[in-house]
Structure 1
Amino acid sequence: MRNWFFILLFVISAGSVFAQSAPKNEPAVIDSVKAKWGKVKNVNGVAMISSNNIIENITLSKEYSTLVTAIEDAGLTETFKSKGPITFFAPTNQAFEKLPAGELDTLLKPNHKLDLNYLITSHAIVGKVTVKDIQHKINSNNGEATFRTIAGTTLIARIDSNRNIVLIDDNGGQSIISKFDIQQSNGMLHIVNAVLVPKTKNI
C-alpha cells in the first residue's frame, strides 16, 4: 500500500513540474516566430507579413490582382519593392470596378503607361504614415489634413460621421480607408474602397 502511495506522489509531482515548465518555453517560441516573420495581419483572408515588401504582400491576395497588373504595366514594381518608406493606399479589385466603363482597359494599354503610372503614384506618399498619424493631422488642422503624393497630386483626409477616414482626390472623389496599418518592410499599407483619380491628367 505504501508503494502505491509513493508512486502516486511521484506521478503528481512529475505532472506539476511539466505543467510549470511548459509555459516557460512558449514565449521563446513566440519570440522566435516574431523575429523570423515580424507582425502578421489578416487581410481579405490572407496573412500579410511585415517582413514582406508591398509587392510581396499584395500579390498574396486575389483581391489586389488588378492593382498588381496595373503596377506592373505602369513600370512601378521596383518602386514598390524599394526600401522606401512608402505609404500606399491600395484599391481593391472592386474599387477599380467603380471606374467608368472602359476606363481601366484604356489605362492598361501600352500607349497609356504614363497615365497609369500617374494614377498609381497618386495613391502613394513618402514616409511611413499610420492611421493615428492621419487622425492627429486631421485633428490638428481643423478637421482636414492635406498630403502630397509621389505623383505630386493632393489628397485631403477627413473623418466622416461614421468615424471613417475619407480620402478626397483632386476631382472631389471620395475613398474610405477600409483596412489600415498593415505594416510592410518598406512602409505602410492601407486599403481603400475607391480609386483616387488625379485631376491634371486625362485618363
Structure 2
Amino acid sequence: MNKVIRIAVFAAGASLTAPVVIPMAFAQSSMMAPNTVSVGGMAMYPNKTIVANAVNSQDHTTLVAAVKAAGLVGALSGPGPFTVFAPTNEAFGLLPAGTVDTLVKPENKATLTKILTYHVVSGDYPTTKIRQMILAGNGKAELKTLEGGTLTFMMNGSSNIIVTDEKGGMADITIADVMQSNGVIQVIDKVLMPG
C-alpha cells in the first residue's frame, strides 16, 4: 500500500499543488513520530512501553531474552515510570564466555533477576535530570535500583555520563533519553553488576 501526500511547488510567483505517491515503507521509515529515537536500527516510539520497544531493537536481543527468562516482562510493561539502563548485545558479549548462557538457565533465575533489576531505577531520569543531580552533588549522584543497590553517576566531559556499579565497573550512556510511555531507556555499553 502506498501513501499519497500533496506537495506544493512554487515557481516564478505561481504555485501548484500536486499529489505525489510515496511507497508506504519509505513513508513509515522516513516520517517517524516526533521524539522517536532509533535504537538497534529500529524506531523507539514514546507511546509504547519499555518492553514493547526493546523487543524491536536488534542491539538488545540478549537483554530481551534475559528479561523474558527472569519473568520481568510484566513488571517492565507496567505503568512505572522506570528508567532502564539497557546494556547492548555487545555489552553482554564482554562478559566472560558462557556467562549469559548460564544466567538464563531456570536454576539461575534469582541471580539473573538480581542483575537485571540492578539496571532499573524507579522514576523518570532523563540525562538532564541526572546532570543536575551530579552538579548538585559536587560531581557525583547516586540512584537506588529496584534490586536495592546503588548506581553512581559522574560526568566525563561536558555531556557524557558514566554509570559506576557497586563493584567499580563503569559504563557510558551511549544513546540517551529514549522516551517510553512508562519511563525512559538509557542505552549503556557495559553490563552493571550489583555488589
**TM category, shorter:** 0.7 to 0.9
**What is the TM-score of this pair, normalised by structure 1?**
0.79
Mapped to 2, the partners of 1:38 and 1:81 lie a distance apart of 22
Question: Which residue number in structure 1 is paired with residue 75 of structure 2?
Answer: 79
Following TM superposition, by how much is the alpha carbon of 1:164 offset from its aligned partner in structure 2, in angstroms? 1.6
C-alpha distance 62-44 of structure 1, shift in aligned 2 (>3 A):
closer
Question: Which residue number in structure 1 is paired with residue 132 of structure 2?
Answer: 136
Pick the structure with more helix per residue: 1
User: C-alpha deviations, 1:96-132, integer Å up to 9, x for none?
Assistant: 0111122212111111001101100100101111100
Mapped to 1, the partners of 2:191 and 2:92 lie a distance apart of 6
| Partner SS for 1:64 | helix
Mapped to 2, the partners of 1:176 and 1:47 lie a distance apart of 21
| Partner SS for 1:105 | helix
| Partner SS for 2:193 | coil
| Partner SS for 1:178 | strand
Mapped to 1, the partners of 2:34 and 2:109 lie a distance apart of 35
User: C-alpha deviations, 1:31-84, integer Å up to 9, x for none?
Assistant: xx99xx663112232111001100111111221110000000001000111011
Match of residue 119, structure 2, among 116, 123, 128: 123
Matches within 5 A, 1:3-82: 15-16=14-15, 39-82=35-78
C-alpha distance 48-66 of structure 1, shift in aligned 2 (>3 A):
same
1:107 and 2:103 equivalent? Answer: yes
| Partner SS for 1:175 | strand
Contact 2:172 2:189 in 1 (8 A): yes
Match of residue 190, structure 1, among 181, 186, 189: 186
Matches within 5 A, 1:155-166: 155-161=151-157, 163-166=159-162
Query: Which 4+ residue blocks in structure 1 deviate beyond 3 angstroms?
Result: none
* Percent pairwise identity: 36
**What is the TM-score of this pair, normalised by structure 2?**
0.82
Following TM superposition, by how much is the alpha carbon of 1:155 offset from its aligned partner in structure 2, in angstroms? 0.2
Question: Which residue number in structure 2 is paired with residue 25 of structure 1?
Answer: none
RMSD: 2.0
Question: Which residue number in structure 1 is paired with residue 163 of structure 2?
Answer: 167
Question: Which residue number in structure 2 is paired with residue 29 of structure 1?
Answer: none
Larger Cα-atom Rg: 1
Following TM superposition, by how much is the alpha carbon of 1:149 offset from its aligned partner in structure 2, in angstroms? 0.3
Contact 1:38 1:51 in 2 (8 A): no
Match of residue 146, structure 2, among 150, 153, 159: 150
Pick the structure with more strand per residue: 2
| Partner SS for 2:74 | helix
1:166 maps to a residue whose letter is I
Unaligned segments of structure 1, at least 5 residues: 1-11, 20-32
Mapped to 2, the partners of 1:66 and 1:55 lie a distance apart of 13
